[in-house]
Each structure stands twice: as structure tokens, then as C-alpha cells.
A = this chain, B = another copy of it.
Amino acid sequence: MMIVMREGASDEQIAHVVDRVEQVGCSAHVSRGELLTVIGAIGDRDRVSGLGLEGVEGVDHLVPITKPYKLASSQFRKGERTVVEVDGRRIGGDHFGLIAGPCTVESREQTIDVGRVVAAAGATMFRGGAYKPRTSPYSFHGLGVEGLRLLAEAKQETGLPTVTELMDARDVADVVEVADVIQIGARNMQNYTLLSEAGRTGLPVLLKRGLSATLDELLMASEYVLKEGNPNVLLCERGIRTYESAYRFTLDLLAIPALKELTHLPVLVDPSHATGRRDWVEPMSLAAAAAGADGIIVEVHNDPEHAICDGPQQLRSSQFADYAAKVRSIVEIAGKEYSAV
């Protein structure tokens, strides 16, 4: 942490800051410039942050030098990349995964139908929501335990590993019976209770970036899972909130190379929620693959006009095979191996 003193800070003020830094067991290096004095505080970042030096007299501002996350940082694994493996499917490093399925589990027929289609087209995993976070308390909130049961049936039928969302820590026992990967939604990215619970299940966790979360905050959220001894976190960019109202969210694909520099964790993209529109899903999927994403999670429905939820953003199952083939051709150019069994 660098502590930048105000112009004209007194020797006394500088000495006071040095004192406080040393009191928490860190060392302080003072550099006096012509105009400004900067104090480098070396040691545990959290201890120095905890001092609240921003409000102390003579201090102008603090500049963090190291990142606040540890287990998620590239340095922690010395440059080696995490590869999440589920039933022989791999995501991360050189491996690209395509996770597909309906937004919400609505019925046996819909779930099995879509499952068969995406399995036949070579999807890496199957996704489907039994619990749905909804902005309105009056909207459909998912089939719950009955939805989990249908997911189990689809898994039996297709052999694909299942990705499904956990919304409430009290549902964790039900969810782990079916899920191969637990999804944490964007609105829960900073629901720390839920992150810790998901971490403790030992299952891989697909963590969506919050609507206005910085990359640092996303990585700090992943740290809540990792610190439970669970090394398998899949990060997922799903569009951020900006001033632009021409689309639901702004898909931030620059997050892909940026995250790959900061962390060893795999980086996925969700083009369905970002765009909210079926016809924008394909160009954004190809762009994500070209930018080096480790995977895509995409919504597919057998009858999107009658979907209970988010119909307009779900690919038609009839177009999925063609879509998946295009994604694979870009994945190859990007130098990755498409993961399917």
C-alpha cells in the first residue's frame, strides 16, 4: 500500500503515519519528493487498509499496490491455469466448454426434449433453473424441488453433467443431490453467506459477475468459495450495467483477457442474459470464443414463444446444432480444444 501525503504535510504527520503502520506489524518506507511525500507500507495489505488512514491528517490518498485476493490470483498458482473437470469434461486452460439448456425447467417434456437436442449437438453440460431469482415478487419463481427432479431425469437420459442455480442456503441439501456444478447468479454475487455454503459443497461453482461488479469484486467473491477449500470456480461474464439503453446489458468481452491475466480460474460468457435477444446470441458467442473465453453458457428452448421466462433470449432448439458448429469452428482458430465426451 502506498500512502500519498498531502503537499505540505508536516514531519509530525508523516511520523504519525509511519508509527501507525509499524504498530500493525508492517514496515514503512518514506520517499520524499520535491512536492510530495509517499510512504510505502509493506506487509499485510488488510492490516494497513484496516487502519483507516484515509481520514488521518496530512494524508491525501492511499494507493493499493497489491491485489486484495490471494487464492484467486495468477501468482497463487504460479501461472498454471485451473482446469475444472466434471465426468471427463474439462473447462479451463486449453479446454472450451459449451453449457446449454433452458432458462427454467418448466415441464418434463421440455426438459428432456431440450436435453436430447443439446446432447446430440455435442454440448459439454446441460443447464436448467429450478429456482429463479425474479425482480418481481409476482413472477414465476421456478418449480423448486420438482424442477430438480426433472433435471435428474434429464441427466439420466442424456448423460450430461447438470448446472443449476442455488439461491437460498436452505436449499443446499436438495440442490447437491442433482447438481454437478452449482451456479450463483449475478444478483447473489455478493451474497457472502451463499458463496460460503456453495464453497463447502465441494462441487464446482459457476459464479456470475454482478451487474455492476468490478473484476476485483468478482475475484473477491470467488475468494469466498476458494477459502472453503474448493478450488473449482468458473467465472462468468454476463453483461454489465452501463448508460446504454439500446440493449439490456453491455457485454464486456474485454473482461476475458483481463481476467486471464489476473487469475488462474476459467472465464465463461453468458450471451443470453447479456443481450436478452436470440438474434444477438450467436454473434456475441462467436466473439466470446474469438476473444479467448474458456466456455459459453447459453439458453435453448424447444418452444421459446411459450417459455414461462425469458423466451426472447433463448435459442430455438432447432437452430442449436448449427450454432454449436459455428462456435466450435471459432474455438479451433482460437487454439482451444472443444470439450465433449
Residues of A within 8 A of B (CB): 2, 4, 7, 20, 29, 31, 33-36, 38, 40, 42, 46, 50-56, 63, 65-66, 68-70, 75, 133-140, 167-170, 187-188, 190-193, 196, 211-212, 214-217, 220, 223-224, 227, 240-247, 250-258, 262, 274-280, 283-284, 286-292, 304-305, 307-313, 326, 329-330, 333-334
Contacts and interface: CB of A to CB of B under 8 A. Distances in A.
B305 A56 contact: yes
Given A214-B245, A286-B333, 4 more contacts: A137-B220, A167-B192, A253-B253, A326-B333
Contacts of A242: 240, 242-243, 250, 252
Contacts of A330: 290, 330, 333
Contact of A55 (B311, B329, B334): B311
A160 B9 CA distance: 41
A240 B244 contact: yes
30 contacts: A2-B63, A2-B65, A7-B75, A29-B31, A31-B31, A31-B40, A38-B65, A50-B139, A50-B140, A52-B307, A134-B192, A137-B196, A167-B192, A170-B170, A170-B193, A191-B191, A212-B212, A212-B243, A214-B244, A240-B242, A240-B243, A240-B250, A242-B243, A242-B250, A245-B245, A257-B280, A257-B284, A283-B290, A287-B288, A329-B333
B291 A286 contact: yes
A168 B190 contact: no
Contacts of A29: 31
Given A136-B220, A190-B187, A275 B254 contact: yes
A330 B320 CA distance: 21
Contacts of A188: 190-191
B254 A250 contact: yes
A287 B291 contact: yes
Contacts of A35: 66, 75
A279 B59 CA distance: 13
A168 B191 CA distance: 9
Given A40-B38, A55-B277, A307-B52, A136 B68 contact: yes
Contact of A63 (B63, B290, B292): B63
Contacts of A275: 254
A167 B187 contact: no
Contact of A312 (B33, B55, B187, B190): B55
Contacts of A36: 65-66
Contact of A52 (B65, B253, B283, B304): B304
- 9 closest A-B pairs by CB: A52-B311, A55-B312, A212-B212, A290-B290, A287-B291, A54-B312, A286-B290, A187-B190, A287-B287
